[in-house]
Structure 1
Amino acid sequence: MLNGILTRVVRRETHSPRTALAVGALVLTAAAATYVGIELVLHLTRSQPLLVAPGDAAKWLGDVPALGSAGAAGALVIGVLGLVLVGLAIAPGRRSKHQLTDGPYAVVADNGVIASAVAERVRRELDVSRGAVVVGIGHRSADVTVRPEPGQQIDAGYVREIAAAELSSYGLSPTVRARARIQRPTSNGGQE
């Protein structure tokens, strides 16, 4: 289908880089290391510490287990922050785009464009007014919501078939599964 260069280009367009997160983590680490270095130099020159002397900081870290719930809460916060950073480092960042695999070219479409096309196809097939069909495209699913006119009967299964046929004609990678929902008007004029 695609050569190696185009495959890399498509991956870069559909996955977000972690550059900002990595730079932020490195800046914080560098700032902490710089502070510790300054405190150590001040301690060796027998000057006043900026915030806390290295000996006092080491003694406080040794006393953390004796702090009880305050120490446990601090450890919990640091642990959760560490898990979040590990999760962000491992999980792929996804952009709201899909690759269209039909054809020899590398084509990437925004989810909003795909949603508009599916909504227009469903609207034309059902012969409903503009704005009566709302489509949301996620990474692996499409949620189609139809608001029919009062008295108009629409089957959710048929809507799902139309949306699935339109989505399959694009050859999206990864594939997108369609779900359909019909919002019926209620007796008080709202939607159910």
Structure 2
Amino acid sequence: MSETTALYQRIKRRETHSSRSGLAITLAVIVILTSAYAITEMILHLADQPALVSDMFGVAQATAGLAEYTNGIVVAGGIVTALIGLIIMIAALTAGRRARHLVETEKTSAVVDNAVIASGLARHAASAGNISPDNVTVSVSHRSAVVTLNPTIGATIDTSAVLAAVQEQLDSYALIPKVRPRVVIDEYGKRGS
């Protein structure tokens, strides 16, 4: 039974998380192209040919002469380089997430797209707020659901009733991971129906 459980856990993870292969391939292509360019410039320099873009000897001299630049330029360059490296490290170490949630019962589990969850929440929020479903937009992310109501001008909506209805619906779904609802009422409203 443990093999089956492990298999199901792997399938669930595969369906709710995305791989980072696209980022890895992009970074590998950038490194390969940069290396090929550097090697080409070195070979052209050794063959006493003109450089394609810039002479590698000049680039090396400019790098060695960083002490002559103002502190602000060197520090700014270092900060930008460190931020790029930090973003790449975070992207590489964190798991990518697909716009999906798990719904588990005693006998089965299902993968539900966030758009389906948003559709159901919009229908219940419209009913609780006594407005048209066309005036409700829902955005579902990994841990939150934002329900935006756009009532007609002059109409009043009981925010707590809408929030309670949305929370009740989310509880009935039993999503993994849990989603926290938030209700926002558009302050400008909508003209007409």
- The TM-score with structure 1 as length reference comes to 0.81
| 1:93 correspondence with 2:96 | yes
Listed one character per residue, the Cα deviations across residues 2-60 of structure 1 (whole Å, up to 9, x for unaligned) are: 72223222222222222221111111111111122223333444444333444332221
Of 37, 40, 45, the match for 1:38: 40
Moved over 6 A (4+): none
| Ranges in structure 2 where 5+ consecutive residues have no aligned partner | none
- The root-mean-square deviation of aligned C-alpha atoms, in Å, is 2.9
Mapped partners of 1:42, 1:183: distance in 2: 64
Mapped partners of 1:176, 1:103: distance in 2: 20
Mapped partners of 1:178, 1:127: distance in 2: 18
The answer as to whether partners of 2:128 and 2:161 remain within 8 angstroms in 1 is: no
* Corresponding residue number in structure 2 for 1:49: 51
Mapped partners of 1:54, 1:184: distance in 2: 60
> What amino acid is the match of 1:111?
N
| 1:63 correspondence with 2:62 | no
Mapped partners of 1:129, 1:34: distance in 2: 60
Mapped partners of 2:187, 2:47: distance in 1: 78
SS in structure 2 at match of 1:61: helix
The range that moved more, 21-30 or 62-71, is: 62-71
SS in structure 1 at match of 2:101: strand
> What amino acid is the match of 1:88?
A
Mapped partners of 2:185, 2:120: distance in 1: 19
Q: Give matches, 1:97-112, under 5 Å.
A: 97-112=100-115
CA drift of 1:165 comes to 1.1
Of 172, 177, 186, the match for 1:174: 177
Mapped partners of 1:52, 1:159: distance in 2: 64
Mapped partners of 1:182, 1:43: distance in 2: 66
Residues 48, 147 of structure 1: alpha-carbon distance in 2 compared, 3 angstrom cutoff: closer
Residues 39, 149 of structure 1: alpha-carbon distance in 2 compared, 3 angstrom cutoff: closer
Residues 75, 104 of structure 1: alpha-carbon distance in 2 compared, 3 angstrom cutoff: same
Seq. identity, % = 32
> What amino acid is the match of 1:59?
Q
Mapped partners of 2:58, 2:188: distance in 1: 69
- Number of aligned residues: 189
The range that moved more, 38-47 or 160-169, is: 38-47
CA drift of 1:106 comes to 3.5
* Corresponding residue number in structure 2 for 1:136: 139
The answer as to whether partners of 1:102 and 1:170 remain within 8 angstroms in 2 is: no
- The TM-score with structure 2 as length reference comes to 0.80
